[in-house]
């Protein structure tokens, strides 16, 4: 007996239908996981040593000046996310991915040969473009491939690969810096990451836009079948017009309460990640830790974040999105609040682990929520808008924590950001509705 969806399609169309699902697309999905690991490795190299590079090699005294490279990274990455989403809907996904790698290729060379701090800031402009174009596109392509049933799992795998690579690259960079020097040795890895990502994307990654179109067609057909009469709904070949980009922007940013809650949570999540990237190495160094231990602590946070996303993304497909987002934001706020109150490698490692776990509860679940709400025809644009707000948190977090650290001290900066994170979880609890279809 054919399923309802199968009866809607004529025999000739059924043979040409693009298959959705993780099992049907496991080869391309796995390839994109590997590509995203190289994307994560590019930014992971900076997380343990670039703030120290600013202080020890270029003689920067102001924390705000040191964190300027994160501000440039965050602003450009946020804007690149927006363009990546829109361009992916208009021209396809693969071209955007390849351009992102071409932009990222000069980054390690610029840092290796930088004669002044301005070169490092410019390198992070290019790195922001690389991360925005490449990471956004791998997210969108995985959502395309898996279809609606396993979005949380897909996002968990994607973010796990990216942030496990961030963790390993941060630890490796700390080890190489402690063994040799702050440059060039750690950034030689970046040259390999960029070349591998570019070649895999150019030669082996396939376009996935057709999968999104297929999901949209299936959605229209399922709606028509559910209502029971073609006369009661629009015909599937007369789908509603895609909203304008302006409408998508305001819908994702403000008008839809759930999407607003998700967007502000993403911004605050990366606000505290900007703090972790720029301030934590300085905080741990002031606490007397050597470079190798600083690199290890810088790796624990994204390491726990990355590995546990393999569980949390799939878990959100079972128990729902809202509770995990609220709980994750509250846990991050508590972990940040504990950090200035504790001292020593062991206690700081515990705080980093809790921060990583809280982030893992939130990160893939936010992306899955966007995919639940947005229609396949404009989903990539909605993801781009969400990631615009989310990654602007890097710039806001770095700027705010730098000013607070210069005025009141690093501990105050960490405490204030922790409080903001906790309040964000409370806000999500008030405005968001559950989006997992089985739990609505």
Token readout for 123 is 């390198």
Highest-scoring range by mean pLDDT, 10-14, 214-218, 233-237, 352-356:
352-356
Specify the pLDDT at position 156: 82
The pLDDT tens digits of the residues spanning 407-418 come to 999 999 999 999
Is residue 316 a contact partner of residue 368, using CB atoms and an 8 Å limit? Answer: yes
Distance CA 401, CA 367 (A): 26
Distance CA 418, CA 129 (A): 28
The pLDDT tens digits of the residues spanning 218-273 come to 777 766 666 554 444 333 334 456 788 889 999 999 999 999 999 999 999 999 98
Res. 92: pLDDT tops 90:
no
Q: For the chain, report the end-to-end CA distance as a whole number of angstroms.
A: 30
Distance CA 382, CA 252 (A): 6
With cut-offs at 50, 70 and 90, classify the pLDDT of residue 111: very high
Specify the pLDDT at position 42: 94
Q: What CATH code would you report for 21-221+242-439?
A: 1.20.1250.20
Specify the pLDDT at position 237: 38
pTM of the model: 0.76
Share of the chain above pLDDT 90, in %: 47
- Tell the residue number behind the tokens 């947005």, with chain if given: 374
Specify the pLDDT at position 114: 95
- Tell the residue number behind the tokens 């806001």, with chain if given: 396
185-203 vs 94-104: helix axis angle to the nearest 10?
160
Range of weakest confidence among 36-50, 191-205, 321-335: 36-50
Mean pLDDT, the chain, rounded, equals 86
Mean pLDDT of 277-303: 87
Specify the pLDDT at position 204: 95
DSSP H or E run through 379: helix 379-408
Specify the pLDDT at position 227: 56
Specify the pLDDT at position 14: 38
Domain boundaries, the chain: 21-221+242-439
Token readout for 60 is 């920067």
Is residue 201 a contact partner of residue 97, using CB atoms and an 8 Å limit? Answer: yes
Which DSSP string do the residues of 96-107 spell out, in sequence order? HHHHHHHHHTTH
Res. 197: pLDDT tops 90:
yes
Specify the pLDDT at position 140: 87
Specify the pLDDT at position 88: 84
């Amino acid at each position: 007996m054919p399923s309802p969806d199968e009866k809607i399609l004529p025999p000739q169309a059924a043979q040409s239908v693009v298959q959705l699902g993780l099992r049907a697309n496991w080869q391309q999905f796995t390839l994109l996981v590997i590509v995203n690991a190289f994307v994560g490795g590019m930014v992971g190299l900076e997380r343990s040593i670039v703030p120290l590079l600013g202080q020890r090699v270029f003689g920067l005294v102001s924390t705000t000046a040191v964190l300027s490279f994160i501000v440039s990274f965050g602003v450009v990455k946020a804007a690149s996310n927006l363009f990546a989403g829109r361009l992916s809907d208009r021209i396809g996904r693969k071209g955007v991915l390849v351009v992102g790698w071409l932009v990222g290729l000069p980054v390690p060379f610029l840092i290796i040969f930088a004669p002044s701090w301005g070169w490092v800031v410019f390198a992070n402009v290019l790195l922001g473009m690389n991360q925005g174009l490449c990471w956004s596109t791998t997210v969108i392509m995985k959502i395309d491939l898996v279809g609606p049933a396993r979005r949380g799992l897909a996002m968990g795998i994607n973010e796990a690969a990216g942030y496990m690579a961030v963790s390993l690259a941060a630890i490796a960079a700390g080890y190489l810096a402690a063994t040799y020097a702050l440059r060039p040795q750690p950034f030689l890895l970046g040259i390999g990451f960029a070349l591998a990502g570019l070649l895999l994307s150019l030669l082996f990654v396939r376009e996935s836009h057709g999968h999104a179109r297929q999901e949209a067609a299936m959605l229209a057909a399922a709606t028509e079948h559910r209502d029971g009469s073609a006369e009661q709904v629009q015909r599937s070949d007369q789908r509603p017009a895609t909203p304008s980009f302006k409408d998508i922007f305001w819908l994702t940013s403000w008008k839809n309460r759930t999407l607003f809650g998700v967007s502000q949570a993403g911004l605050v999540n990366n606000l505290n990640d900007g703090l972790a990237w720029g301030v934590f190495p300085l905080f741990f160094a002031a606490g007397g830790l050597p470079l190798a231990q600083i690199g290890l602590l810088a790796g624990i946070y994204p390491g726990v974040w990355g590995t546990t996303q393999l569980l949390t993304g799939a878990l959100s497909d079972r128990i729902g999105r809202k509770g995990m987002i609220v709980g994750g934001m509250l846990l991050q706020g508590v972990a940040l609040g504990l950090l200035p109150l504790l001292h020593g490698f062991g206690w700081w490692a515990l705080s980093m682990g809790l921060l990583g776990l809280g982030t893992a509860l939130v990160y893939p679940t936010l992306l899955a929520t966007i995919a639940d709400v947005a229609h396949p025809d404009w989903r990539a644009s909605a993801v781009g808008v969400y990631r615009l707000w989310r990654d602007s948190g890097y710039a806001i977090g770095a700027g705010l924590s730098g000013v607070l650290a210069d005025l009141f001290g690093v501990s105050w900066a960490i405490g204030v950001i922790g409080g903001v994170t906790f309040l964000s979880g409370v806000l999500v609890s008030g405005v968001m509705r559950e989006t997992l279809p089985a739990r609505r």
